[in-house]
Amino acid sequence: MTVHQSISDEAKPAYNYAYLDEQTKRMIRRALLKAVAIPGYQVPFGSREMPLARGWGTGGIQVTAAIIGPDDTLKVIDQGADDTTNAVSIRRFFERTADARTTEATDEATIIQTRHRIPEAPLKAGQIMVYQVPQPEPLRKLEPHEAETRKMHAWAEYGLMQVKLYENIARFGEVTTTYDYPVMVNGRYVMAPSPIPKFDNPKMQMSPALQLFGAGREKRIYAVPPHTSVRSLDFEDHPFRIQSWEQPCALCGAADSYLDEVVIDDQGGRMFVCSDSHHCETRRAQGHRGTMLGDATASGLVEAKS
Amino acid sequence: MQDGNQIHAGFSDPVFQSQGAFRALLAALSEPGLACDIGVSVETPVGLEPATAVTLLTLADYETPIWLPAALRDGPAGAWLRFHCGAALVEDPSRAAFAVIDGTVPEPKLSAFNAGDDQFPDRSTTVLVQCAGLAGGEAVVLEGPGIAGRRSIAPTDLRAGFWAEIEDNAALYPLGVDLLLVHDSQVLGLPRSTQIVETR
């Protein structure tokens, strides 16, 4: 007896299109429009129970479910990769509930739902980025009370954040925040860019794409419209800097992408590879070769492509 | 049933028509000054532009009080919105989540609507301004989030002092009302974040 069953069309769950009911979508859509009108401000919304645990992207899924339609092509990435658990299951969720067309190609997608990365390929006008956000409040670690952080945003009282960055510099000689690096949006609101590496922060500045942020557990939605100023907080004598690596990607040789460190044995061996899996594959298909591509192909870690 | 009391149909396909209309509204507010076609048509009650009717069907429900001019509120438009959206129709403009005004009529001023408060600027009114046309009028140059450089718009026949009201509204940022200029099936967003650079 086999325990595997294929899902036929009749067996598909009889949910409303894109899972959420229409009243919930209207509520999320109203929050999204206000979020777009006040870039960087966190709009409270009635986050729903989703068929996966909070912390697994329920905010991003609710935003995507409220905007997706039959004309859309969806790409989902988790830490830059299209083929990790979270990305695969969310993509499958929308294939089942919204008959979504999905893709791994950044330039073919109209909606890109992401956990913790912005793709390397430049975003285009008309594309919508949907970020999964665990903690939407950039001031939360400095001030635990919502009533207080709300006032700090209302009065643009962001001195505490500058002091935190200053203390980093005083103690370590540099700002040690490497991900979820706070940004100032449209010169008014300090915003958490979600836990993307600070390497990706400059991609948000004046991006031609619309950027939407959903935090399911914390029940907040916020947005950055296209062509909006997104400035990483810094000091004149300690300007904002992004990460850099001493070696290029071991698979595709890219020297300008965000690299993950992969431990490959117990002898201290390691390799650096692009975190954006589609970007890396595209470059390899174009004939770019990294120093360890041969080894990786031989050991079956990477599919051999001519 | 008497002819005058008949309520026209709403969306024939609520899920996909509201999704399509919402994407047009999202595009309109994320790229202020760009006229977007709402892409859906319904049988519209007297006094509402087609895009006004579709916008309210898409966004309004029992959680969102709507302000209408008295003539519309007491006419078929009011009955149509009550029936399809289940929304309360309020007389006090400052209580409205959505409002529909005629661009040529001098009252109520934009300042009569809810501009939100400093801790919850999202609780402001979204005002739909029904215009005679979205092109061919006096040119107004816009700047702000959603606009690469500058963008020029030219809606027609707006009341005297309308752009001064918009400037006053933008000066309240991050408070203020958000506007959708509406004509026929077109919507053009003017959120509070948009600044007026010059009017000619």
Tokens at residue B159, please? 């009341």
CATH topology of domain B14-199: Rossmann fold (3.40.50)
Tokens at residue B193, please? 């974040």
What is the C-alpha separation between B162 and B171, in angstroms, rounded?
14
Contact flag B178-A34 (C-beta cutoff 8 Å): yes
- Smallest CA–CA separation between B1 and chain A, in Å? 30
pLDDT digits (tens, 9 = 90+) for B38-66: 999 999 999 999 999 999 999 999 999 99
Residues of chain A in contact with residue B147, where contact means CB-CB under 8 angstroms, are 227
pLDDT of residue B128 exceeding 80, the answer is yes
What is the C-alpha separation between B200 and B197, in angstroms, rounded?
10
Cα A300 → chain centroid: 29
The A-side interface with B (CB below 8 A) comprises: 16-17, 22-23, 25-27, 29-39, 41, 43-44, 66-70, 150-151, 153-155, 186, 188-189, 206, 208, 210, 223-229
Please report which confidence band the pLDDT of residue B1 belongs to, taking 50, 70 and 90 as the band edges: very low
Looking at residue A303, its pLDDT comes to 72
Tokens at residue B152, please? 């020029």
Residues of chain B in contact with residue A17, where contact means CB-CB under 8 angstroms, are 15-16, 19
Residue of A nearest to B63 (CA): A27
Mutate to test the interface with B, among A23, A38, A128, A189 (most CBs of B within 10 A): A38
- Smallest CA–CA separation between B118 and chain A, in Å? 5
Looking at residue A2, its pLDDT comes to 44
What is the C-alpha separation between B33 and B191, in angstroms, rounded?
9
Contact flag B26-A210 (C-beta cutoff 8 Å): yes
Contact flag B145-A227 (C-beta cutoff 8 Å): yes
pLDDT digits (tens, 9 = 90+) for B15-30: 999 999 999 999 999 9
Please report which confidence band the pLDDT of residue B145 belongs to, taking 50, 70 and 90 as the band edges: very high
Which residues are paired to B187 by β-bridges?
B36, B182
The phi, psi pair for A131, rounded to 5°, reads -95, 135
Ordered DSSP codes for chain A: --------STTS--PBTTBS-HHHHHHHHHHHHHHHHSTT--EE--PPP-SS-TTSSHHHHHHHHHH--TT-EEEEEETTBSSSHHHHHHHHHHHHHH--EE-S-GGG-SEEEEES---SSPP-TT-EEEEE-S---TTTTT---HHHHHHHHHTT--HHHHHHHHHHHHHHSS----BS--EEETTTEEE---S-BGGGHHHHTT-SSEEEEEETTTTEEEEE-SS--EEE--BTTB-------SS--TTT--SSS-EEEEE-SSSS-EEEEES-HHHHHHHHHTT---TTHHHHHHTTSS----
Strands B186-190 and B35-37, by their bridges, are: antiparallel
Tokens at residue B3, please? 């002819």
Contact flag A44-B122 (C-beta cutoff 8 Å): yes
Residues of chain A in contact with residue B178, where contact means CB-CB under 8 angstroms, are 33-34, 37
What ipTM does this complex have?
0.97
Looking at residue A166, its pLDDT comes to 96
Instruction: Name the catalytic one among A40, A59, A60, A216.
Output: A40
Structural domain spans, chain B: 14-199
Residues of chain A in contact with residue B126, where contact means CB-CB under 8 angstroms, are 33
- Smallest CA–CA separation between B3 and chain A, in Å? 31
- Beta carbons within 8 Å of B26's beta carbon, 6+ residues apart: A29, A32, A33, A36, A67, A210
- Smallest CA–CA separation between B14 and chain A, in Å? 8
List chain A residues with pLDDT less than 70: 1-13, 304-306
Looking at residue A144, its pLDDT comes to 96
Looking at residue A298, its pLDDT comes to 79
Active site residue A280: yes
Which residues are paired to A235 by β-bridges?
A238
Whether chain A has a CB inside 8 Å of the CB on B142: the answer is: no
Amino acid at A207: S
pLDDT digits (tens, 9 = 90+) for A86-144: 999 999 999 999 999 999 999 999 999 999 999 999 999 999 999 999 999 999 999 99
Alpha helices in chain A, H assignment, sequence order: 22-37, 58-67, 85-98, 146-154, 159-172, 201-204, 277-285, 293-298
Which residues are paired to B143 by β-bridges?
B195
Residue of A nearest to B97 (CA): A30
pTM reported for the whole predicted model: 0.94
Tokens at residue A50, please? 């989703």
Task: Find residues 88-107 of chain B whose CB sits inside 8 Å of chain A.
Answer: 97
- Describe the crossing of helices B50-59 and B14-30 by its angle, rounded to 10 degrees: 110
Tokens at residue A37, please? 């009108």
* Counts of helices then strands in chain A (DSSP H, E): 8, 12
Starting at the edge strand found earlier in the chain, the sheet holding B140-143 runs B151-153, B140-143, B195-199
Contact flag A151-B119 (C-beta cutoff 8 Å): yes
A3-37: burial string, b at 16+ Cβ within 10 Å, e else: eeeeeeeeeeeeeebbbbebebbbbbbbbbbbbbb
Looking at residue A7, its pLDDT comes to 52
The DSSP code for B150 is: -
What is the C-alpha separation between A221 and A31, in angstroms, rounded?
7
- Residue among B61, B118, B122 minimizing CB distance to A154: B118
Mutate to test the interface with B, among A30, A74, A137 (most CBs of B within 10 A): A30
Write the Ramachandran bin of A268: left for phi over 0, alpha for psi from -120 to 50, otherwise beta: left
Looking at residue B2, its pLDDT comes to 40
What is the C-alpha separation between A188 and A182, in angstroms, rounded?
13
The DSSP code for B120 is: B
Residue of A nearest to B59 (CA): A26
Active site residue A269: no
